Each structure stands twice: as structure tokens, then as C-alpha cells.
Structure 1
Amino acid sequence: MRPIPPAWRIRLAALAAGLAAGLAHPPFGILPGLLGYALLLRLLETEGPRPLRSAFFRAWLAGAGYFAVGVWWITEPFLVDAREQGWMAPFALLLMGGGLALFWGLAGLIQRAFAPRGWRRALVFAGALTFTEYLRGHILTGFPWNLPGETWAAGSAPSQAAALVGAYGLTWITVALAGGAALLFDPVSRRARIITGGVLAGGLVLLYGGGAWRLAHALPVSPTAPLVRLVQADIDQKEKWKPENLDLVFTTYMQLTTQPGPARPDIVVWPEGALPAVIDDLLSPGSPYLWRLTAGLQTGQTLMMGANRVDFGPAGETRYYNSLVALRRSPQGLKPTAIYDKYRLVPFGEFMPLGQLAAKVGFRSLVHMPDDFTPGPKPRPLRVEGLPAVQPLICYEALFPHFAADAAARAGFRPAWILNVSNDAWFGGGSGPWQHLNIAGYRAIEEGLPIARATPTGVTAMIDAYGRHQPGHTLGLGRIGVVDARLPPGLAPTPYSRLGEIIPAIMLLFSAAMASIRRHRQP
């Protein structure tokens, strides 16, 4: 067998570095994989022809490995109708993973062009990757899935730093510590190596110790808090969208809604797009589903239902919305008390950036509606009759740091909790739903607010303001049932919810300052 040429060994090592960093994320949780950042840093420093181009390509390969682990679930929506769309699945993964990896390639280019020698380069590396990950979360519609700072399991001690610096700030910390391990292999004195190891160890102690202290002072759940029932019907995506199954789907949700529990729920939650129909038809006068809903709910109960709804524009055009509708049962009957229309829509899932072209190649059917969804107005918390104020996050919206805080600032008041309804059936039965759960947990930590999370097939959970979901209040993949949980208390506004990206911006400026020292000293 011929030996692998050195250039290919470097490329394979770069790919392995990204794979290792991706596997450090939940649900795999192989935290030694964080050393993939240290390996990548070393590879970016390897000499050779065309150093900038090589650095870009090596970082791109690492990103390709990272996102291959993180977004392989993108193939699942195409397998719902595998006969018609299955051929698109591998192309979707290649385009998604390879496209997102371009941001890592840019980080490698920045690192190679501006990083100094010595210990400062680890801080520049942290800044370069955090900066490009911030771009990934904002360019076009943004897609901040599995940020490096979200490697730590939400609710763990290290994850609590997100209350101070958010997911982007924690990305900087994570990459600085993990990438800094590369400094231990520098040809320096033993004393310098001991100092480097001590600094890295001290950073980990602060990360774990500070988080442990915060969790040790966690507020308990009040026994008089509102009781929330989260419904998970576990209906396969392929079966749900068959028109003849509407009655079966509805009946399943109603049986779970009305099943006996320890106490009467104050709030019942159905997930995103629970029923394969627009809610306007379900609630129209004379609809059999209207009276069945009314009969199934008790007076004073509120149903928070993820639903598709239809409206008409000023020119009479039909507009479709992915919505959350609050329905309250009163002695007089069932009445809508609030509606939230999803603001951030999923490209190629809820709207087609290349609408006519997408329709020609068959993408349109992924939406399961006659036309694209329309984005709702800029988000604000909802004041729902009889309930604490709530900020809805529909599926994709849970990816975005500071989304709820921006909505609260827009409205002038802060919600008491966050409600995340999501159709994670699109992610299949692998790691995607668990990753989404972990990401949602970071929004709880950042805002200091509990999150009630309902999905049709898993993972459904009640998450406290520290990002923790308790085993007894979680329904995993492929399970049918309900989660009955008291709403955990909210905390005072966290530093991150008040300051936003100011602290991460300071971190980036610090990294830039470390890079500028090298340039300033050059003759």
C-alpha cells in the first residue's frame, strides 16, 4: 500500500478535526472532540505553497466535517416522499454542509493572514471563528445551528456562562480554551508551557465553577405555578399529511388533551402544525372540530395550538401563516385570545428564495401548502387572557440568540416564559431533535426564562431558566404521551438579555487588538 502523501494527510486531519468538534455536541457529547479546534489551529500554521489558499481550504474541510455531523438531518424532509424527492437528499447535505463550511474557510483565511506568533494567536483564532459564526447566524436569513459555544449540554455548569455572554460569547471562550491547547506543543520553555497549562486549566475552573455556583442557587418551582400540559402525539410525518387522516390525527390530540392527570392543566400545548389543515376551516361555524374542541376543554383552560392559518392581503391575495393560536374555553364557548405569526421562516422549507425555479424541480411540495408562508410582523410577547405573558418561538426561531429580548424591548414589557412549538418530525429519528432541544435550552439560559417545548414526535420537554430539562418532564423520540409540569420561575433579566452582543463584541475587539500588535511591530 502506497503511503498517503503529506498534503492529503493534512487534508484528512483537517476533516477529522471538524468531525471531532461536531461530535462534541449533544447528543454525542464527546467533549475531548473539542481538541479538534487545537488540531485545526496547528494545521492552519503548517507551511506550504499558497498559504492563504491552503488555510482557507483546510478550514473549509474542517467545517465540512463539523456540519456533516451537525446537519445531516437535512436529508430527512426529502425522504418523506422518497419516491419523488429522495434523489435530492445527498445534494441537500452537500450544499448545506459545504455552504456553511465556507464561513469556517473564511475564519481560516483570517487566521492565516493576521494571527501573530506565540500565545496571542489562540485569541485571534477564537475571534476569527466567532466572527464568522456570527456572520453565519445573520447573513441572508441566518442559520446559527450548533454554534461552537453550544457544545456544552444546556443546563450543565459550563453552559451557564451564556447568561453573561450569550452563545456567541461562549463560542469565543470555548474556541479560545480548546484551541489554546495547541500552545502546549509549541517549542517553548518548560516554564512557559506550565503557565499556558495553568491559564487553560484556570479558564476551565472558572467556567465549571461559576456555572456550578449558579446552579447551586437555582430557584425552586412553585407548587402553585400554572400547570402546563405538553402534548406529543408521535404521528409520522408521512401519515400526518394524508387528507384522509385528519380525523385520526385530531382524535389522537384530543385524547391526550383530555386524559386524566395529577391535576387539571391550566395550559395545553399542541406543537407546530399539529393538524394537517388550516385552522380557519377547523374553527369555522358548523365545523365538527369546533364543537369537539369546545367539549374537550374545561372552562378556564387555554389551548396553545401550533397551526397553519390563511388571511387575505390588501389586493385580495391569499396569504398563509405558520402560527400559534391561543384558544380559551369560557362558559360561553371557545374564543381566540391571541395569535402569533412566525416571523423568521425557514428558506426552502417555508418559503422558496427561488420560487419559480424551486417549483419546477419539485421543491414546492416540501411546504405542504399551495404557496409560500408569509412572515408575520416583528415579534412581541403575547398577553393571553388568564396567563402570564409569553414569547412564542416557532421552530427555527429558537436558534437565534436575543430573539426574545429584542421582542420584549419592542413591546416594552418582558414575558414570564417562552413557548417553543416545533415540528421536529422533519429532523427524523436521529440526532437532529436532540440538537434542537439543546439549542433551545440556551435561549432559556440567555434570557433567564423557562421554556415549554412541544413537538409532535420528540423531544418535548419543560426547560427551566437554567436550561435544564428534568427526566420526568421529558418525552423522547418516538414516544406518545403528555408532559404535565408546573411552569418554572423566571429570573431577573440576565446580563446578556440586557446587554445583548456588547460583551461578545468586546471579545472580538480584544482578538483584533492581539492581531494588531503583530502588525504594529512589523518594520
Structure 2
Amino acid sequence: DALRLLVFASAFSLLEWTRGHILTGFPWNLPGEAWRAGSAPSQAAAVVGAYGLTWITLAIAAAPAVWRDGRSGRIAVGSAFAGLVLLYAGGAARLALDRPATPQAATLVRIVQADVPQSIKWDAASFQDIVGRYVDLTSRPYQGRPADLVIWPEGALPAAINDYLVPGSWVRQAIVDALQPGQRLLIGGYRYEGPADKPVYYNSLVALRRDADDIVLVGVYDKHRLVPFGEYLPMDGVLTALGVRSMAHLSDSFASGPRPAPLRIGSDLLVQPLICYESLFPRLARPDPAVRALVNVSNDAWFGVTSGPLQHLNLASYRAIETGKPIIRATPTGVSAMIDAHGRVVGGARLNLGQAGVIDVALPPEFSGTLFSSLGHWPYFLIMGASLLASRQVRARKIPRTGGQKINKKS
């Protein structure tokens, strides 16, 4: 009946929560994120987050299974239908009525997608060509005012940031020549710290600014949530001894950076970086209210020509809905896009799989805040708490009560 339906939705969504939090977690394609980001139903994530929307989606989808359970089953199906209508109506109203709290001066952004396949990226003979692709796209003439901010994706250049940005290097000079005076550039890549015989590596996003005839370092963000078996080996000592490190083709693991914090790349611009699959985690994307936008750089070239990059775009877009902040998304082979605060790709501001080019677009407005950005997962926890009470009711029904009277047995 209806109570069992609630218990099912709660148990399923609790398993999804566990999948997203055990060890480092891998919350890929939550049921609540099956709705196209930017659609009317997806807007519920601004209130209850992706996990709360997962519970709602599961409850609605499972409702037809209890149709034959008498009156309570029909009530459950009717309630699910009403919930579906509310998802669409409420979401449509939010899309139509939600407006930015205050007007904002336009920040112009150039997103660079060089379409460098993973198969050639680490070929030493291709390094100069890869650098050339990025600087040529970066220096393309503008139709109007030059961009304030240029974004290169995760792992844009296949070398350590420390090495190719060393003063006097030809790569550094090429980057200087590609930028306009005062322009800021965000580059994703790896860097190292510590002694030469035992360096510590980070997957990072560095912010640079061109001043006069050189570039200066503005800030650094180090990836906090690393991909297990891709960027680090869990229980390193034990699994290395078992040969797992060699099977996973891992040499040196990345070190985890501090918990995500905003990156100030100018007196007028504070952004929240999310590197690669950090964009899957709602908690990591809840930024300081002063943050103007989320910046998601990702190397989705690993997926090849599959649905993976399209899925990742949809999942990352949910962080815009939850936080009320636009997302600037840059990848080497697609899909790169500018996403507004409702999770929609801004018209035309998209480069698909296999495309090389730039996106020149104004940063969309942010909104004053969402319920999720204020309360986080508490609405979801309240839903789960109510469902737990329902499960106790279901259990109580199955236990016959004797009222303390002794039950006689016939021999």
C-alpha cells in the first residue's frame, strides 16, 4: 500500500546516498538527476537537492505497482500523479518568475575547447601542437569587447604547470602573447611541491593575469575529491602489495587538496572551482554567498565518443539549480558550455563532442539564493525521517497485538 511505497522510495534513495558517500563516493546518475537539467521537474533540486528529488522520483515511478492494493493503493497512485503535476507546475513557475535579485555588470568569458583526443595527448611529439591549439584559440579576434576571463579545461597541457610556466619558457611567452592586457586565465593541470626526490602532486586549477609583458599568479585551487583508482589508490600500502597499483596503471598518486573554497581571481570576481567529478557532489558545490559562479573544468576525453560527456554535463548542471549560481564548464573534447542558474545551457553557448573552438559569452546572472543553498540536505533528511516513521507503521501492522491476554493453544 502507500506506506510500503514510501518505505521502498526511502530504502532505494538511502542506498543512493550511501553510494555517493562511502569511501570517496561516486554519485553518478542519481535517479533524481534523470530529469533533463533545466527542465521544469529538475527545478525541485533548488528546494530539496538532487537526493531529495531522487526520493520524489522513485516514489512517483513506483506508485503504479500498488494500484491493485485497494483504496490505499489508488490513493498512492493519485498522490503520485499530483506530485508529478506539482513538479511540472512548480518548476515551470520558477522558470517563468525567478529573476536575478540585483542587476550585475556583465563579465565576459571565453571558454576554449581545443579538441585534443586522449590518444595523442601524452605523445611528446604532439606537445608543441597542443600548446599551439590552445594559444591560437585564445588569441582569436573578438567581435566586441575582449573577454575578462578565459578558461582552459582540466589537464589542458600535458606537462607540469611548474615546468611550462617557469620564467623564460617558450610556453609561458606563448600564453602571454595570447592574452590581452589585464585578462585572467584559468588553466587546469597538475603541479608538484616538495623535494625533487619525493614530490607531492596535485590536480590543480591555477589563475593567472596578464600584467604588462608577463603573467602573474593570482591563485591556486587543488582538487579535494579525488577519483579512486584513477587519481589515487585507496589503502595504498595494502593494495600496492597485492599488485592493484600496477593493474590500475597508477604511478604516483595525487594528493588531496583542502576542502573546496572560493578562488578570488579579481577584486570583482569570486568563483568556486570544481575539478572533474567534484561537480557530482552537491555538498562540495555549496559556495560562499559572495561567489559569482561555479567553474567546472573536466577532462571528459577519457569517455571517448560516448554518452558519458553528455551525462556529465547534465549532472554538473544540477549544481547550478541547487545553488542558484551559473556554471562555466570547460572540457578538452566536449561538452563545454555556459550554464545559467536554472541549469540550462545559455543559447548557443555550447561546443559539442569533437568540436574545436571558443565560446564567447557573458556570465549569466546569479540568484539571491535557493532553499538548498541555505539548508543543504536538511529537507531530504526530513523526508527520510517521515518515511522512517512510516516504516515503523508498516512493521507494527505485521506484528499482531494480544493486548496482554494469554493465548490458549488447543492440543
Contact between 1:381 and 1:414, CA under 8 Å: does it hold in 2?
A: no
| Counterpart AA for 1:219 | R
Contact between 1:152 and 1:158, CA under 8 Å: does it hold in 2?
A: yes
What corresponds to 2:403 in structure 1?
none
Measure, in 2, the Cα distance between the counterparts of 1:438 and 1:403. Answer: 17
Measure, in 1, the Cα distance between the counterparts of 2:74 and 2:244. Answer: 61
Contact between 2:309 and 2:334, CA under 8 Å: does it hold in 1?
A: yes
207 and 451 in structure 1: CA distance in 2 versus 1, 3 angstrom threshold: same
What displacement does 1:456 show?
0.4
| Counterpart AA for 2:310 | W
Contact between 2:176 and 2:213, CA under 8 Å: does it hold in 1?
A: no
Q: Quick check: 1:296 aligned with 2:178?
A: yes
SS in 2 for 1:323: strand
What displacement does 1:414 show?
3.4
Q: 2:265 aligns with which of 360, 370, 384?
A: 384
Moved more, 452-461 or 488-497: 488-497
Q: 1:472 aligns with which of 334, 348, 366?
A: 348
Q: 2:201 aligns with which of 306, 320, 324?
A: 320
What displacement does 1:218 show?
3.9
Q: Quick check: 1:213 aligned with 2:93?
A: yes
Q: 1:348 aligns with which of 208, 229, 243?
A: 229
What corresponds to 2:61 in structure 1?
178
Contact between 2:37 and 2:317, CA under 8 Å: does it hold in 1?
A: yes
After superposition, the C-alpha distances for 1:326-368 in whole angstroms (9 at most, x for unaligned) are 0101125200100000000001111122345456644225xxx
310 and 510 in structure 1: CA distance in 2 versus 1, 3 angstrom threshold: same
Measure, in 2, the Cα distance between the counterparts of 1:355 and 1:327. Answer: 37
What corresponds to 1:126 in structure 2?
9
Paired residues, number: 393
Measure, in 2, the Cα distance between the counterparts of 1:444 and 1:402. Answer: 12
196 and 376 in structure 1: CA distance in 2 versus 1, 3 angstrom threshold: closer
What runs of 5+ residues in structure 2 fail to find an aligned partner?
401-411
Measure, in 2, the Cα distance between the counterparts of 1:387 and 1:337. Answer: 13
After superposition, the C-alpha distances for 1:253-295 in whole angstroms (9 at most, x for unaligned) are 0111011232311111000000100011111122111111111
What corresponds to 1:236 in structure 2?
117
What corresponds to 2:316 in structure 1?
440
Q: How high is the TM-score relative to the length of structure 2?
A: 0.91
Contact between 2:325 and 2:367, CA under 8 Å: does it hold in 1?
A: yes
For residues 40-439 of structure 1, the aligned pairs below 5 Å read: 118-184=1-67, 186-188=68-70, 195-219=75-99, 224-263=105-144, 264-312=146-194, 317-331=198-212, 333-353=214-234, 354-358=239-243, 361-365=246-250, 370-405=251-286, 408=288, 414-439=290-315
SS in 1 for 2:217: strand
Contact between 2:66 and 2:74, CA under 8 Å: does it hold in 1?
A: no
Measure, in 1, the Cα distance between the counterparts of 2:121 and 2:317. Answer: 28
Contact between 1:223 and 1:486, CA under 8 Å: does it hold in 2?
A: no
374 and 181 in structure 1: CA distance in 2 versus 1, 3 angstrom threshold: same
What displacement does 1:387 show?
4.5
SS in 1 for 2:70: coil
Measure, in 1, the Cα distance between the counterparts of 2:4 and 2:244. Answer: 48
After superposition, the C-alpha distances for 1:73-109 in whole angstroms (9 at most, x for unaligned) are xxxxxxxxxxxxxxxxxxxxxxxxxxxxxxxxxxxxx
What corresponds to 1:453 in structure 2?
329
What displacement does 1:194 show?
5.2
Measure, in 2, the Cα distance between the counterparts of 1:156 and 1:248. Answer: 40
Q: How high is the TM-score relative to the length of structure 1?
A: 0.72
What corresponds to 1:80 in structure 2?
none
Higher relative contact order (CA 8 A, sep 6+): 2
What displacement does 1:519 show?
2.3
333 and 360 in structure 1: CA distance in 2 versus 1, 3 angstrom threshold: closer
187 and 397 in structure 1: CA distance in 2 versus 1, 3 angstrom threshold: closer
What displacement does 1:486 show?
0.6
What corresponds to 1:39 in structure 2?
none
What displacement does 1:159 show?
0.2
| Counterpart AA for 1:286 | G
468 and 167 in structure 1: CA distance in 2 versus 1, 3 angstrom threshold: same
Measure, in 2, the Cα distance between the counterparts of 1:348 and 1:360. Answer: 8
What displacement does 1:429 show?
1.0
Measure, in 2, the Cα distance between the counterparts of 1:387 and 1:258. Answer: 24
Measure, in 1, the Cα distance between the counterparts of 2:73 and 2:10. Answer: 23
| Counterpart AA for 2:376 | G
Measure, in 1, the Cα distance between the counterparts of 2:74 and 2:382. Answer: 28
131 and 196 in structure 1: CA distance in 2 versus 1, 3 angstrom threshold: closer
Name the structure where strand makes up a greater proportion of residues.
Answer: 2
What runs of 5+ residues in structure 1 fail to find an aligned partner?
1-117
Measure, in 1, the Cα distance between the counterparts of 2:300 and 2:172. Answer: 26
SS in 2 for 1:383: strand
Name the structure where helix makes up a greater proportion of residues.
Answer: 1
What displacement does 1:422 show?
0.1
Percent of aligned pairs with the same amino acid? 51
Measure, in 2, the Cα distance between the counterparts of 1:321 and 1:236. Answer: 22
What displacement does 1:395 show?
0.3
In angstroms, what is the RMSD of aligned CA positions?
Answer: 1.9
Q: Quick check: 1:505 aligned with 2:381?
A: yes
Q: 1:519 aligns with which of 365, 387, 395?
A: 395
Contact between 1:402 and 1:447, CA under 8 Å: does it hold in 2?
A: no
What corresponds to 1:26 in structure 2?
none
418 and 266 in structure 1: CA distance in 2 versus 1, 3 angstrom threshold: same
| Counterpart AA for 1:495 | L
After superposition, the C-alpha distances for 1:9-34 in whole angstroms (9 at most, x for unaligned) are xxxxxxxxxxxxxxxxxxxxxxxxxx
Measure, in 2, the Cα distance between the counterparts of 1:357 and 1:422. Answer: 31
SS in 1 for 2:249: helix
Contact between 1:453 and 1:461, CA under 8 Å: does it hold in 2?
A: yes
